Amino acid sequence: MSLLIKNGRIITASQDYTADIFMEGEVITTIGKNLRMKADETINAAGMMVFPGGIDPHVHLDMPFMGTFSSDNYETGTRAALHGGTTTVIDFVLQTQGKSLRHALEQWQARANGNCLGDYSFHMAVTDFNDNTRLEIAEMVDKEGITSFKTFMAYKGALMIDDRQMVGLMQEVKKCGGMVTVHATNGDMIDYLVAKHRAEGKFAPLYHYLSQPEITESEASGRFADMAIYTGVPGYIVHMTCEGALNHIRDATKRNQKVFAETCIQYLILDASLYEMDFEGAKWVMSPPLRQKKDQASLWAGINQGLVQVVATDHCPFKWEQKKMGEKDFSKIPNGHPAIENRMELLYSEGVGKGKISLNKYVEVTSTNAAKIFGMFPKKGCIAVGSDADLLIFDPKEKHALSAATHHMNVDYSAYEGWKLKGKCKTTILRGKVAIDNGKVCIPKGYGQFVKRKKVNGII
């Protein structure tokens, strides 16, 4: 099977030019002007931009969490991702405390394998680091191609580990050639504030926000960076939201330390005023919570300063019925919001379209940097001969509005209902096959493959 894309404006992390792309089987074999190869299928991309397929390294599909499961499974979630131009996602396997990493991996494989339309990989979330877990780290890296280990400094009593476990894990992961990633907020302090607000009879979604002030995130981010430099392990902070946390990353660079930072689309464009709307604010109850306008400004600047390398989603959708589990108590609202399908279009429209980031930066933060940081480059994250033919053909001029009535995520509301955007995903290609064409799904469930990742060294 061969496919030829003619006359597209090809945008990578460093280039911007018009040419044709020829792919045979799953990979790109030729890029050039006026290619005359005979192809099984030809797409005229004149007037369109061609980006590397999006990589979202932070999603939660079919995840058991807070007494329920996130509402997108591997089929609906990866299909929605493809509709939105994202060809590869990295999800999180969650260790059950008291059980092995292998046990957790088998559970997640049973849910994901054979069900994905898009390509996927796993981070391993270590929630119980002990002498047995220590022995499994090398096996995850060398045998399974799982090279990033997620930790939670929050969700006390459920997923949180203490600093003793963190340092031990970091030393082991460093030895094995992996990376430690973190949900960096101070779990003890949040636990105290949640209990205090509940004791005072304060149960509205607003108190979710007020239980996680900026300092809980900046303190934990600094502590994580300090432990990472002490152990020498490459570190990555997920879903960074605020100026205070970013300042700790900036400080780390002054001592020549690289701690990668990811923000998510919602923290760039939404703010905490949404929590002032009674229970409707539950749509945006996530951890960390949305912040202030000044934090948005810091994050955009952090992207342009190279301090924030990735814009992900932390896609963790719950239907309205599920959100209502916390109608009487904010601490019972399942945390998370849907965005896997919206990230590429929102960031283009709000970022590139409004002059906040360049086109090359857009590709860096939506695809290339994640591929490099997580050991998938140059298979993924670029448009180059020999790379997987994962491409997004994008119309930069088409105007449209986001809505739950038209999205493909398995959730009955949109966190961006009515948002008017300029720029639309038209055709998504995954490993040389048209996956989505003008809203039509062209590949079956099971086409998505697990991506084994290489060791990482913290340099991109």
300: tokens are 């955009």
Task: Decide whether 314 or 345 has the Cβ nearer to Zn ion.
Answer: 314
Least CB distance to Zn ion at residue 1 (A): 36
Interaction between residue 336 and ligand URP (CB under 6 A): yes
Of residues 263, 287, 387, 410, which one binds ligand URP by CB under 6 A? 287
For the chain, give the number of residues: 460
Contact status, residue 184 vs residue 237, Cβ threshold 8 Å: yes
Using alpha carbons, list the distances in angstroms from residue 408 to 81, 143, 366: 9, 34, 20
Distance in Å from the first CA to the final CA of the chain:
33
Give the binding-site size for Zn ion (rule: CB under 5 A).
2
Residues 45-74 that bind ligand URP (CB under 6 A): 60
Q: Which residue has the tokens 């991506």?
A: 451
Cα dihedral 284→113→371→441 (10° resolution): -70
Taking CB under 6 A as the rule, does residue 235 contact ligand URP? no
- The answer to whether residues 184 and 157 touch, using CB atoms and an 8 Å cutoff, is no
Instruction: Among 75, 243, 262, 314, indicate the residue that binds Zn ion (CB under 5 A).
Output: 314
Half-sphere exposure of 130 (CA within 13 A, CB side): 10
| Residue span binding Zn ion (CB under 5 A) among the ranges 102-110, 112-120, 298-306, 307-315 | 307-315
* Interacting partner of 264 out of Zn ion, ligand URP, none (Cβ under 5 to 8 A depending on kind): none
Are 208 and 289 contacting, i.e. CB atoms less than 8 angstroms apart? Answer: yes
Task: Report in angstroms how near the CB of residue 3 gets to Zn ion at its nearest.
Answer: 34
Among 4, 190, 228, 316, contact with ligand URP (rule: CB under 6 A): 316
Considering the rule CB under 6 A, would residue 219 count as an interface residue with ligand URP?
A: no
Q: 379 is in the binding site of which of Zn ion, ligand URP, none (Cβ under 5 to 8 A by kind)?
A: none
150 binds Zn ion (CB under 5 A): no
Cis preceding-peptide flag for 213 (omega within 30 of 0): no
The reply to whether 335 sits near ligand URP by the rule CB under 6 A is yes
CB of 51 to ligand URP, least distance (A): 26
286 binds, among Zn ion, ligand URP, none (CB under 5 to 8 A by kind): ligand URP
By three-state DSSP, how is residue 54 classified? strand
Query: Considering beta carbons, is residue 151 or 368 the nearer one to Zn ion?
Result: 151
Phi-psi region of 440 (alpha: psi -120 to 50; beta: other; left: phi over 0): beta
Question: In DSSP terms, which residues pair with 193 in a beta bridge?
Answer: none
CB neighbours (10 Å) of residue 453? 25
Contacting range for Zn ion; rule: CB under 5 A; set: 47-55, 124-132, 225-233, 311-319? 311-319
Q: How far is the CB of 197 from Zn ion (least distance, A)?
A: 20
316/346 with CB nearer Zn ion:
316
- For Zn ion, give the closer residue by CB, 70 or 147: 70
Question: Please, which residue, 28 or 206, has the CB nearer to ligand URP?
Answer: 206
Residues from 166 through 225 that contact Zn ion (CB under 5 A)? 183
Window 84 to 143, contacts with ligand URP (CB under 6 A): none
In sequence order, the 6+-apart residues with CB closer than 8 A to the CB of 12 are 52, 360, 363, 368, 382, 383, 384
3-state SS assignment for residue 9: strand
In Å, how far are 47, 192, 235 from 366, measured between CA atoms?
21, 36, 19
Q: What's the one-letter identity of residue 115?
A: N
> CB under 5 to 8 A by kind: which of ligand URP, Zn ion, none does 186 bind?
none
User: Which is closer to ligand URP, CB of 1 or CB of 158?
Assistant: 158
Task: Say how far apart CA 317 and CA 286 lie, in whole Å.
Answer: 10
The nearer residue to ligand URP, 60 or 407, going by C-beta atoms, is: 60
As measured in angstroms, the least distance from the Cβ of 152 to ligand URP is: 7
Task: Give me the amino acid identity at 404.
Answer: A
Question: Which of helix, strand or coil describes residue 236?
Answer: strand
**Going residue by residue from 169 to 188, which x/- string records binding to ligand URP, judged by CB under 6 A?**
--------------x-----
Closest CA to 54 of 92, 11, 83, 88: 88
Q: Does 314 bind ligand URP (CB under 6 A)?
A: yes
**In terms of CB distance, is 22 or 374 closer to Zn ion?**
374
Instruction: Tell me which residues touch Zn ion (CB under 5 A).
Output: 183, 314
Instruction: Tell me which residues touch ligand URP (CB under 6 A).
Output: 60, 183, 286-287, 314, 316, 335-336
